[in-house]
A and B are shown apart, each in its own frame.
Chain A
Amino acid sequence: MSSAIGYLGIITAFVSAMALVVHGFRGLRDADRAVPGRTRLPVLGIVAGSVVAMLALEIGLLTDDFSVEYVANHSASTTPFLFKVASAWGALEGSIILWLLVLALFTYVVWRSHRSRGDGDRLGNGALLVMGVVVVFFVGLVLTISNPFRVCVEARSVGCALSSSFPFSTAAVPLEGLGPNPLLQNHILMAVHPPLLYVGYIGLTVPFAFALSALLLGQSGVEWLVRTRRWTLVAWIFLTAGILLGGLWSYEVLGWGGYWAWDPVENASFLPWLVATAFLHSAVVQVRRGMLQAWNFILVITAFSLTILGTFLTRSGVIVSVHSFTQSAVGPALLWFLTVVLVVSLAVFGTRIHLVASSPRLDSLASREGAFLLNNLLLTLFAFVVLAGTLYPMLVELVTGTQVGVGRPFFERLGIPISLLLVLAMAVGSVTPYRAARPAVMWERLRTPMRLALAVTAGAVLVGARNGWILVTTLLAAFVVAVAVRHLWSQALRSARGVPSAVPGAAIRLMRNDAGYWGGQIAHIGVAALALGIALSSNLTVEDQVRFSPGGSVDFAGFELTYVEPFERVESNREVLGARVEVGRGGDVVSVLEPRLNNYFMTRQAVATPSVDQRLRGDLYLSLTSIDAEGATLDVFWFPYIWLIWLGGALAVCGGVWAWLVPRARRREDRPEAAEVAHA
């Protein structure tokens, strides 16, 4: 039943997307036909079809409809409710349905923008055409090689052996399903992390669609940027949050004690983030100063291509990782699509760019524009390093057949210096005036923050810090925070005409009136905190493997760990074996940790769930590796100040949200004082 409904949705979406492409083409050739009324039905059809398909998949999962192959092989009747819901994107075919749904919603967003401009909006019409083509590709994937609605025609006792793509085939219904991948049903974050990333990835289709439309129409100017920057920001916010939660998931679930492994799929999410971040900055330069027009097209095309590359890496089976789905024909299809996207966009770019890009003007490198150029250079260089390190082993193996190893040391050796330079550029660049910066102005703005940063770092040395990476990161991070706070303080003081009691109110007014800038500064502070968290937790980690006999105890990083007893319990979908460990400090028991091993019934694969005691000074992290009657073996870690990473990431997201929300809230109010508050 859910299979037939799913087909109905997919076919509706496919027909609508084809109609959207046809209408889009007509509107592109003839401005009189670029009318929102003509594309209304196709867009609503895409949305409705995708919603129906997603609902059909969820209904199938929640009602344990094992006649659907996808349900039989990726869910089980014993799977908890929330993980059944999340199973819809836990495997390849379902994940593309979610992808499609998000893409449909963004298509609707583009159509709304088109409608608000009224008839004759050729730019919006062209963007809808591009969205339509992308939708056609993804619905096409679902209809042909990645169909989650296939009917099971040959059942095993558990799971489905053979399926048919004909929706009215006679179904063979397995008695029980295989259940989700144990790694994916171990933690709630797994339900959240992929959808967030998808919104981030797919959101980048919107600026791509408008950019390609502007190029096709030979329309110069910033209209495409102005109309898409809010959606680029949405994509950025979700990408940031998705990557952050992915790191948190890795830390909380995988039990290896880390949050980032430079795994190709992690890199695949980091790449569009780097390029989107570069684009958020360079878009400012174009909007305010008319520069970097051609460069912005390149960034947007790159960002979109990288999302497709990431999708390819995850779904093609070319890499082995915790993220990869099973090998399938989707890989080659995505590779073809990536090739088509690149060839078409670059051809359009090459033939049209002279129509839309003006000659650059840069008064001085020592200016905000110069700082933005440095930012873009560093971010794209970082992206290049990550891309090269990710693809190089695959390409070498493809060409020569030999395997080379490119891992953490490569990425860190190049990535850490680039990151530190970025943090420095963030501090200095964000308060550099436009056009040309006079040294006296810069000295005035940087003098006090520099002294404060030196004082903080000297303090760190005095309490015993000697690691060079920690010291340099402390110095730069403190500098970023001090520069931003001083800038806000001095502007607020001026706007409050020197009355100290009026400064806080003036500061909030400033932050609301230029929400883009101050949202950016909040994000900068977040990145600085994150950098410090990475430097501290990775350079000061203490780790050990400890074998406990029952009742035994051991001293570790200033704590006394005592193995109290093993425990065992049976849950609906798994059997849990664990060790109860008391954490003592100075004779008192401060907490009890319960690291566990989970055995899932359907897969017989043990998955560790670490247990973490989070404190202000750091995390005590216990991961169980084996347990029996004679004792338990644990990996124990001490990660100092690792919470700075989560806090910093959350601040970066907050900065993005501030920049997104506040202008909208402000528009609804009267803003009498807005005009008189001068911008820096």
Chain B
Amino acid sequence: MPDRARRWLASVVTVALALVVVFGFVDGEPSETDRVAALGTRIRCPVCQGEPIADSPSETARAMMRIVSERVASGESDAQIVEYFRTRYGDWVVLDPPFRGATLLLWLLPLVALGAGVGLIASRRRRVPDSQVDA
């Protein structure tokens, strides 16, 4: 096979494979059980030692998991379900810190750290040409 044809074939195969992968990403949506499990990791079991209700074998956690799955089945959104537990047990019950209030800073800190790190690396790089102009 001539070189050009082989390269052309390789490109076609690569693109075809990439298309299959992209199809895999866009096809399918999260099911109800996925949502229940995901919500279960976001709510703290109030009678355990810092465990989410999805991980705890206690009766309370089981009951809360049942509430979650009932509410998912009845069509409530994730935010509504989380809010339901928050009004009953307080902010503390939510293991997923909200992007506001007392936990806003927690979300901002890593962003600041990332910015600082990127800035540091970028500044080091720019300094180089100056010091090495004659090198």
Q: Which residues of A contact B (CB under 8 A)?
A: 255-258, 261, 263, 319-322, 359-363, 365, 373, 377, 380-381, 384-385, 388-389, 392, 396, 400, 402-410, 413-414, 450-451, 454-455, 457-458, 460-462, 465-468, 471-472, 475, 541, 543, 545, 608, 623, 625, 635
Contacts and interface: CB of A to CB of B under 8 A. Distances in A.
Contacts of A384: 109-110, 113
Contacts of B50: 263, 319-321, 407
B44 A545 contact: no
A410 B128 contact: no
Nearest to B91: A404
A404 B97 contact: yes
19 contacts: A359-B131, A361-B131, A361-B132, A384-B109, A384-B113, A392-B105, A402-B91, A404-B97, A406-B95, A406-B97, A406-B106, A407-B42, A407-B52, A410-B96, A451-B14, A451-B17, A458-B17, A466-B24, A625-B57
Given A365-B125, A381-B117, A409-B41, A261 B51 contact: yes
B42 A409 contact: yes
A462 B21 CA distance: 9
B93 interface: yes
B47 interface: no
B106 A322 contact: no
Contacts of A396: 102-103
B56 A256 contact: yes
Interface residues of B, number: 49
B20 A458 contact: yes
Nearest to A405: B95
B118 to A, nearest CB: 7
Nearest to A365: B125
Contacts of B93: 405
Instruction: Pick from B18, B24, B44, B127 the residue with the most CB of A within 10 Å.
Output: B24
Contacts of B13: 451
Given A377-B118, A458-B20, A461-B24, A361 B57 contact: no
Given A360-B127, A362-B124, A381-B114, A407 B106 contact: no
A271 to B, nearest CB: 14
A261 B121 contact: no
A261 B55 contact: yes
A151 B9 CA distance: 81
Contact of B20 (A361, A381, A461): A461
A541 B40 CA distance: 14
B18 to A, nearest CB: 6
Contacts of A410: 95-97, 106
Instruction: Pick from A321, A381, A471, A472 the residue with the most CB of B within 10 Å.
Output: A381
A299 to B, nearest CB: 13
B13 to A, nearest CB: 7
B21 A457 contact: yes
B57 to A, nearest CB: 5
Given A319-B50, A405-B92, 9 more contacts: A263-B50, A321-B49, A360-B124, A405-B44, A406-B97, A407-B44, A413-B96, A414-B110, A471-B25
Contacts of B42: 407-409
Interface string B59-99: 00010000000000000000000000000001111111100
A553 to B, nearest CB: 22
B49 A409 contact: no
A400 B101 CA distance: 12
B117 A380 contact: yes
Interface string B1-25: 0000000001001100110110111
Given A360-B127, A471-B25, A373 B121 contact: yes
A657 B24 CA distance: 38
B57 A256 contact: yes
Contacts of B91: 402-405
Contacts of B57: 255-256, 608, 623, 625, 635
Contacts of B134: none
A236 B51 CA distance: 29
Contacts of A257: 55
Contacts of A408: 41-42, 52, 95
A230 to B, nearest CB: 29
A238 to B, nearest CB: 27
B52 to A, nearest CB: 6
Nearest to A461: B24
Contacts of B121: 365, 373, 377
B24 A457 contact: yes
Given A321-B49, A461-B21, A409 B95 contact: yes
Contacts of A457: 17, 20-21, 24
Given A407-B44, A407-B50, A471 B21 contact: yes
A407 B21 contact: no
Contacts of A451: 10, 13-14, 17
Nearest to B13: A451
B128 to A, nearest CB: 5
A322 B110 contact: no
Shortest 9 CB-CB contacts between residues of A and residues of B: A407-B95, A461-B24, A466-B28, A409-B96, A458-B20, A454-B17, A403-B92, A458-B17, A405-B95
B45 to A, nearest CB: 11
Contact of B109 (A388, A455, A623): A388
Given A363-B128, A405-B91, A461 B106 contact: no
A322 B50 CA distance: 10
A545 to B, nearest CB: 7
Given A404-B97, A409-B42, A392 B52 contact: no
Nearest to A256: B55
Contacts of A359: 127, 131
A450 to B, nearest CB: 8
Contact of B110 (A388, A471, A608): A388
Nearest to B106: A392
A320 B49 contact: yes
Contact of B128 (A362, A455, A461): A362
Contacts of A466: 24, 27-28
Contact of B106 (A389, A467, A541): A389
B25 A458 contact: no
B120 to A, nearest CB: 9
Nearest to A402: B102
A381 B55 CA distance: 28
B21 A454 contact: yes
Instruction: Pick from B20, B96, B97 the residue with the most CB of A within 10 Å.
Output: B97
A380 B110 CA distance: 10
Nearest to A413: B96
A396 B94 CA distance: 15
A652 B102 CA distance: 39
Contacts of B105: 392
Nearest to B24: A461
Given A388-B110, A408-B41, A458-B17, A465 B117 contact: no
